[in-house]
Structure 1
Amino acid sequence: MATTREKRPTSFYFLATFFALFVLFLYGPMLTIFILSFQGESGGLTFPMNGFSFYWFGNLFEQQAVGDFGGSFARSLKLGLIVMAVTVLVSFMAGLAFRKRFKGDSVIFYLAIASLIVPSILISLGIGLLFNIVSWQPQWFTSALGAHLTWTFPFGLLIMFAVFNRFDPSYEEAARDLGASSWQTIWHIVLPMVAPSLIGVAMFSFTLSYDEFARTLMTAGALNTLPLEIYGMTTNVTTPVLYALGTVTTGFSFVVIAIALGSVLILRYRKGQKS
């Protein structure tokens, strides 16, 4: 017997159109930059395109009259990796510590997440002024590192809180009954079980640090990170090489996300094989 397909209501098409326009609003500017980065050699910064080529991607790796692509990218990459490592380690330790109530835990928690409420530019300004008061020159690996941690650590902490709230302590009790020490229990039981979440924290912290502008503005010192370099170049660079840079950096961010998701899938596959 043939089944008749249920007719969708008019509201479905209205909501679907609204969602499509919303996605276009979000990713339209990114798509525009991506397309314009493939301008021909004589192309400009706007439509219509004058040919199609990879010329500006090759020009990206040549000596530029304005801008330090390689140096700023290296600094952003190193800073993002340091922020990622510190955030993962401290978030994991804080998640373990907050599993049991202790005196002053609420105060510490609210202090840890308070930086999410304060405007980013004020945090950057405050850290920069503090370094000037103590006669320390702000640098991307000191003051900027601290500023980025005020942005990434609260997210890592909240993620680990959610993970440990669902964590079954009976696994740890079973390990201790079998003679495992506290360190062995953490290393062989707790850590493998929360590893996918730690990968998520790592991805969050790296991408947030790699793309951060406001909290880096007053704390990076004389050497720019990549977001600061791109911002400074917007008033000087008049070729699509800037769009090529945006396309490359966006692609790099997607690669990081793909690696993180791939790692989670591998961990789940191995866990399924063992079980």
Structure 2
Amino acid sequence: MYHLIRLRWGLAFYTGLFIAFLYGPFVVMGLISFQQGPEGGPQFPIIEWSTFWYQHVIGIAPVSRVAPLPIGEALFRSLSLAFATMVVSTVLGTLTAQAFRSKFKGSGFVFYLVVLGMMVPGVLLGLGMALVADQMDVARTWWGTAFLLHVVYTYPFAFLVMLAIFNRFDKSVEEAAWMLGVPPGRTFRKVTFPMIFPGVLSAMLFAFTLSYDEFPRTLFTGGSEVTMPIAIYGTFAVEIHPNLFAFGVLTTLFSFALLTVYGVLMGMSTRRSRLRTSGIQEDVA
């Protein structure tokens, strides 16, 4: 009994250290972002609290020696690239996982071929794509070569998420619809897709966030029009100012907002799936 108590306290202590290590940088970033402007770099403790650097990020602060962050067009590129990657990767992942519901020859080889995109280091893959593009005289752009690598990277994650969802899927629901004479296409739209929609949301979230934050693959293949992570890195490499931390806080809050929307949609989808399962015969008739 004594050893069990010690084990619990040890696990609790380890969990606390892990949480502190995970969220400590965000707390420090948030504190430094509220320091006084317009002069000076990061400093702690805070002498005077201010929201100057948040105003600086959104462009309403007075003119100072600190240049605005080059995030306008870069942020648009990152969001556009992440959205396009999310759509393509989720569709490909869902279709591939659907195919793996039935055994076929060479399925093991295809499986490892798909997940290879997430196993190869991003630096090597980006460098390889850059060399291939140069040899073929193809321009490196964020909407072309970088988009292709983003899909190669995020597609396996979407596939694995959907594969787990389909492994827990009750095939008897589809079989009931087929016995009622419902065509396969209508069965997928009216029965299968509503039930796997929580998994689709998870795959979309994975693909979007991974693409939005992707750095090494984009660095080698994005061309001269940089995305947000590369633009932030270029600023960070020259000189650090609190506007970077203010932007980091806003970006984190944006991520939390996405998670909130994801949670709401997940809850709505789960409730609808339960209702649809209970009245499946009326729905597909």
Letter of the structure 2 residue corresponding to residue 55 of structure 1? F
Query: Which residue number in structure 2 is paired with residue 3 of structure 1?
Result: none
CA positional deviation for 1:60: 0.7
Deviation beyond 4 Å, 4+ runs, structure 1: none
2:48 maps to 1:51: yes
SS in 2 for 1:216: helix
Instruction: Indicate which of 57, 60, 64 corresponds to 1:60.
Output: 57
- Find out whether 1:30 has 2:26 as its counterpart: yes
> How far off its partner does 1:266 sit?
1.1
Q: Which amino acid is the alignment partner of residue 15 of structure 1? A: L
- Whether contact under 8 Å (1:139, 1:220) holds in the other structure is yes
Query: What is the CA–CA distance in structure 1 between the aligned matches of 2:130 and 2:122, rounded to whole Å?
Result: 12
**Cα deviation 1:162-199 (Å, max 9, x = unaligned):** 11112122211211221211110110011000000000
Question: Taking structure 2 as the reference length, what is the TM-score of the superposition?
Answer: 0.89
* Aligned position for 2:187: 185
Taking the aligned partners of 1:169 and 1:9, their CA distance within structure 2 comes to 45
User: Within 2, Cα distance between the matches of 1:134 and 1:201?
Assistant: 33
Pairing partner for 2:177 from 156, 175, 185: 175
1:20 and 2:20 are equivalent in the alignment: no
Q: How does 1:1-275 map to 2 (within 5 A)?
A: 9-41=5-37, 42=39, 44-62=41-59, 65=67, 67-273=69-275, 275=278
Classify 1:229/1:165 alpha carbon distance in 2 versus 1 (closer, same or farther; 3 Å). same
Q: Cα–Cα, structure 1 residues 262 and 220, in superposed 2: closer, same or farther, change >3 Å?
A: same
Instruction: Return the alpha-carbon distance in structure 1 between the equivalents of residues 104 and 167 of structure 2.
Output: 16
Equivalent residues of 1:66, 1:233 under 8 A apart: no
The 1:237–1:25 alpha-carbon spacing in structure 2 relative to 1, beyond 3 Å, is same
Q: How many residues align?
A: 270
Superposed CA RMSD in Å reads 2.0
- Structure 1 residue runs of 5 or longer lacking an equivalent are 1-5
Higher percent of residues as helix: 2
- Residues 66 and 237 of structure 1 are in contact (CA less than 8 Å); yes or no, is this contact kept in structure 2? no
